[in-house]
Amino acid sequence: MTINNGNNSSNDNAERLDFVRQIVADDIAGGKWPKAIATRFPPEPNGYLHIGHAKSICLNFGIASEFGGTCNLRFDDTNPTKEEDEYVKSIVEDVKWLGWDWGKNLLFASDYFGQMYDWAIKLIKKGKAYVCDLSADETRAYRGTPTEAGKMSPFRNRSVEENIDLFARMKNGEFADGAKTLKAKIDMASPNFNMRDPVMYRILHASHHRTSDQWCIYPMYDWAHGLEDSIEKITHSICTLEFENHRPLYDWFLDELGIHHSQQIEFARLNLTYTVMSKRKLLKLVQENYVSGWDDPRMPTISGMRRRGYSSEAIRNFCKTIGVNKFKSTIDLALLEHCLREDLNKTSPRVMAVLNPVKVVIDNYPQGETEMLVAVNNPADESAGTREVPFSREIYIERDDFMEDAPKKFYRLTPGREVRLRYAYFVTCTGVIKDDDGNVVEIHCIYDPETRGGDSPDGRKVKSTIHWVCAENAIDAEVRLYGNLFTKENPEDGEGEFTENLNPDSLKVLNNCKLEPYLKGTDMLSRWQFERLGYFCVDADSTSEKPVFNRTVSLRDTWTKVKK
């Protein structure tokens, strides 16, 4: 795989087209479709969108924008028991945040229930569909096995009149849930299970989030999906590989009805290491309080990633980098984080923050004085300019950056050693003060006033530069550090439930962090690099009394290592 930094414009012809785009390009060149091409992103509103959906969104909306077509945002809301308006709202927000535009085409499959019903009657009249009284268990048993043909339902040869009557009565609510189904009459001996008289409608006395109690029969996915595509005159109906075996059925319905026939194209879904992607599993994490909600920053949901500090550009670049193909694979989470760092490196201003502070007193610095030092906002972007950082006699540094009895290779602060304070001065450690338990509570140093700005006029070298925050006007903050949500590359590994592989250390809350005063009142979702510590953003829980920051990602890029 080649890494693409995402700077290429989306329709850069020099890039090799993926197989889906190649089909679209060929169709356009061959004049297959009379009008502009049309795609759709069809989420079922039964959960929040995750990073796998982002792959599908970028594919469908990306193709529409590159080839001068349109992409609909269509809610595939055919299952009333699991769907909610909360999910619809979150999906709309997430697709918009990712930067895509559906224009006026925010659509709902439930708006087509009437048309779908009429088409079902058309199939009944053609003798291609029948009302069946077999229970769900019987239907399964009648379907046969991969090596054995199925058995015909005893209701398969009902007359057209009887079927029309029974189907109308199903719709009118005369029968209990599960008492009857409408099935397509295809081929009980087909090697493809999906063609063995699949169920088109089931009875379900359930209230729907949009149609309320208007319907008590609901269409099955295989029946509904192609009709939705057809109604919307979709040209390329792009879905994931599990539906490859469903394509003959998709085609059969459209051909039997003789209506607009979209082309179904299957691609491999995104799998990521250390991540579960199914909405059912993500729902379990939410419902059983393993996480704080769908937007918990550890969740692979778009809303969780947004809260964590991901930019939409980083997600789009990731989708572009992984490309689209037909082979099942699992992408290394490190690649997603690599794309994230590439973007944040360019866009995040640098500031200094100390997460695990210990106080340093500079004994020869004038008492009560504060001076302003100049710091660079972003070495990767000169236009970001500089800012002023206060410095005075007492500062905080990371506890990790000091060691009393340091091994040879420890180059940071230790008694007798001189180091550079970033943008400030050279300081030399002269001693420490400890509490009764022997913990260092204060470090004493002297500074060299000649090294202001961090350079020594006599060319003296120091082996390390450490970050710091001025004690007097530091902002106190809470910082949340995140690890992988699961301990195993494949969270499904092992005998038990996937939840047994949850990482107990995936969230670490630090309550006593010190931030440079520049961060006061920083905007929600604004992103920063805390020098030497990683990329951070303001969390939704943040208040002016108690700022809360999330670590989006650390600085260390493990992807480049993986590649070597």
Specify whether 520 is catalytic: no
CA distance 283 to 292: 11
44 lines the binding site for Mg ion (CB under 5 A):
yes
Catalytic residue among 44, 93, 478, 489: 44
CA distance 99 to 62: 10
Q: Residues 142-159, buried b or exposed e (16+ Cβ, 10 A)?
A: bbbeeeeebeebebeebe
CB closest to ligand ATP, residue no: 52
277 lines the binding site for ligand ATP (CB under 6 A):
yes
277 lines the binding site for Mg ion (CB under 5 A):
no
Complex with ligand ATP: residue 52 or 69, whichever CB lies closer: 52
247 binds, among Mg ion, ligand ATP, none (CB under 5 to 8 A by kind): none
CA distance 155 to 316: 51
Minimum Å gap between C-beta 147 and ligand ATP is 29
53 binds, among Mg ion, ligand ATP, none (CB under 5 to 8 A by kind): ligand ATP
304 lines the binding site for ligand ATP (CB under 6 A):
no
331 lines the binding site for ligand ATP (CB under 6 A):
no
And the tokens for 148?
């054995």
Complex with ligand ATP: residue 199 or 277, whichever CB lies closer: 277
Specify whether 341 is catalytic: no
111 lines the binding site for Mg ion (CB under 5 A):
no
Complex with Mg ion: residue 47 or 349, whichever CB lies closer: 47
CA distance 482 to 500: 18
Among 53, 225, 320, 417, binds ligand ATP (CB under 6 A): 53
Minimum Å gap between C-beta 21 and ligand ATP is 16
240 lines the binding site for ligand ATP (CB under 6 A):
yes
Specify whether 44 is catalytic: yes
Cβ atoms of 243 and 229 within 8 Å: the answer is no
**Looking only at Cα atoms, what is the longest distance across the chain?**
102
55 lines the binding site for ligand ATP (CB under 6 A):
yes
As a whole number of Å, the CA-based R_g of the chain is 31
3-state SS record for 474-512: CEEEEEEEECCCECCCCCCCCCCCHHHHECCCCEEEEEE
Catalytic residue among 279, 298, 422, 551: 279
557 lines the binding site for Mg ion (CB under 5 A):
no
Q: DSSP letters along 349-396, please?
A: PEE-EESSEEEEEETTSPTT-EEEEEEES-TT-GGG-EEEEEEESEEE
18 lines the binding site for ligand ATP (CB under 6 A):
no
Q: Residue 453 — φ and ψ, nearest 5°?
A: 90, -15
Complex with ligand ATP: residue 180 or 225, whichever CB lies closer: 225
Stretch that binds ligand ATP, among 49-57, 155-163, 446-454, 469-477 (CB under 6 A): 49-57
281 lines the binding site for Mg ion (CB under 5 A):
no
Minimum Å gap between C-beta 176 and ligand ATP is 28
CA distance 324 to 460: 54
Which residues in this chain contact ligand ATP in the complex, by CB under 6 A?
A: 42-44, 52-53, 55-56, 239-240, 269-270, 277-279
